[in-house]
Amino acid sequence: MLAAGPVRGDAPPDALAKARAALAKGDGIAAEVPLRLALQRGLAADAARAALGEALLLQGNRREAREVLYAGDFAPESAARGWQMRGRLEMAESRLVEAGQAFDQSYRLNRNDASLWTDIGRLRFIGGEHAQAIEASERAVKLGPNDPRALELRGLLIREQFGLQSALPWFEAGLRIAPNDPGLLGEYAATLGDLGQYRAMLIVCRKLAKVDPGNARVLYLQSVLAARAGQTTLARKILLQAGGALRDMPAAIMLNGILEYRAGNTNLAVEHFDRLVRLQPDNLQARMMLVRALRSRKLDAEAVQAAGVWPNLELAPPYLLQITGESLRAQGRKAEAAAMAERAEMDGQKPSEFLPAGQPLGVLAIGYNDAPNLASNAVPYIRALIEAGDDGTAIAVADRLKLANPGAAEAWLLAGDARLIANDALGALDQYGRAALIRFNLPTLQRIDHAMRLLDRDADANSVVARYLRQNPGSPQALKLLSNGRAAVGNMAGAERIEAALAARGLRNPS
């Protein structure tokens, strides 16, 4: 794939310059052409390896990129970039350890490259090292204040850390520098949509479609916009235009399921929701939609099976309890149905933080003991300990994970979960608050809200939810929390206003 031809002495001297200029514009095809020609005319393979590998990655051709990037060494002047491209390839294929090793090698050769720090930030975020990802993104922006990718990553992490509203200036800053950048346009449009600024989102989507006609995300965002406006037929039509481009995108699978359910195609809806639950077993929203769809088809045994152990969890969402209870009642299991109905009537929107472990405790213990500081081993083990009621061990294991991964918000949340189960709401709140400094997203908000209300700090909880809503005004879950919170302090008029707004948007159920 990367063999130089006979040296004819007429290899284009500007081939690498042309390729690098095309790569800077994100055009992998335009970069590949001069490189292939130069190789045919005698350019050394090692000199072209990094640039050609990058060009192939831009085209999504990971198989050939791997053949090129690992077929030999890199020329000294391109070695840092070559190792970086190996890291990008490994990260794209979810080999995070190998990606980190490649980025480390690139860092040894060039410590002050903004694009490398952007890649490092993305890797850290994917690996759950949220605080370290933030640090990397800050360094990337400092080194490359006009680098669109660095500004895009900073915006994404700001969105996770502080909320939608705070992220907008970062995307806008990037678009002032690169007004036709597809990545920035896509994130800007998505953020505007989540903020409820639909007209602005549509304008950005149209521009994205113009500068990148094949961008499937445009169709997804336009379909979301139509779905939010209640135009189910139009939303389905738009999404179908994407073909298979969005087949493995979880949000698109969920949208497909919702649209088919709305259109009365319950069988298709079940297929979409079931596939998403298999891909993401901890996606509670998808699981609730699957149970709902099965219940609507009167497949009550299947609905109860799909609900699994989730309704048995202490903090299962009321809507899941309600629909699972309906299926139990339809099967004649009246006592179980009554118990679930009673639990569903409990006030408050409760977070579903205690996820089932999925494997026997003994099996998880073996894996944990092999590598106790590895989150992928520790997290399910902690969940299993919480399920088993072993509070003391769960806290100890969670604290060890937290010390080993202080930048991982998930580690702090689990440490809080273990304390909450042990009836230490104040200790749990402290852990949740530390997680919020790293990543203040909806699961973190739900935990803080629940812990504060257990401590009879309803007014404080309402203030935290209101702060979250200032950044994320379109969040139905947060609006429901605030509605219940206002009712808890006797502000029934305020609660009723929120309920009316939620009902107008068709968002009162599922919760």
pLDDT given at position 318? 81
Q: Helix/strand/coil (H, E, C) string of 255-304?
A: HHHHHHHHCCCHHHHHHHHHHHHHHCCCCHHHHHHHHHHHHHCCCHHHHH
CA–CA distance, 101 with 82 (Å, rounded to integer)? 13
Residue 362 has pLDDT above 80, yes or no: no
* Neighbour tally for 7: CB within 10 Å: 11
- Residue 481: name the closest of 455, 458, 510 by CA: 458
Give the pLDDT band (50/70/90) at residue 353.
Answer: very low
Residue 473 has φ and ψ, to the nearest 5°, of -65, -15
Looking up tokens 């007429």 gives 10
CA–CA distance, 125 with 403 (Å, rounded to integer)? 18
Residue 349 has pLDDT above 60, yes or no: no
Angle at 444 between CA 134 and CA 438, to 5 degrees: 15
Burial 417-437 (b: 16+ CB within 10 A, else e): bbbbbbebbebbbebbbbbbe
Residue 507 has pLDDT above 70, yes or no: no
CA–CA distance, 482 with 226 (Å, rounded to integer)? 27
Give the pLDDT band (50/70/90) at residue 243.
Answer: confident
First vs last C-alpha separation in the chain: 53
- Residue 445: name the closest of 68, 163, 50 by CA: 163
* Contact assessment for residue 351 and residue 446, using Cβ atoms and an 8 Å cutoff: yes
Q: CB pairs under 8 A, 24+ apart, for 382-389?
A: 382/414, 382/417, 382/418, 383/354, 383/355, 383/356, 383/357, 383/414, 384/357, 384/359, 384/360, 385/361, 385/418, 386/354, 386/417, 386/418, 386/421, 387/354, 387/356, 387/357, 387/361, 388/361, 389/421
CA–CA distance, 496 with 117 (Å, rounded to integer)? 48
CA–CA distance, 362 with 368 (Å, rounded to integer)? 10
CA–CA distance, 445 with 449 (Å, rounded to integer)? 6
pLDDT given at position 2? 59
Dump the DSSP string for 450-508: HHHHHTT-HHHHHHHHHHHHHH-TT-HHHHHHHHHHHHHTT-HHHHHHHHHHHHHTT-S
Dump the DSSP string for 418-462: HHHHTT-HHHHHHHHHHHHHH---HHHHHHHHHHHHHTT-HHHHH
Per-residue pLDDT reduced to its tens digit, 120-142: 999 999 988 899 999 999 999 99
Per-residue pLDDT reduced to its tens digit, 404-442: 888 888 889 989 988 988 889 999 999 999 999 999 998
pLDDT given at position 462? 93
CA–CA distance, 474 with 101 (Å, rounded to integer)? 40
> The pTM is what?
0.81
pLDDT given at position 9? 44
Alpha carbon 495 to its chain's center: 31
DSSP tag of 311: G
Mean pLDDT to the nearest integer, 205-233? 91
Mean pLDDT to the nearest integer, 235-259? 91
Per-residue pLDDT reduced to its tens digit, 272-293: 999 999 998 878 889 999 999 9
Per-residue pLDDT reduced to its tens digit, 39-93: 998 899 999 999 999 999 999 999 999 999 999 999 999 999 999 999 999 999 9
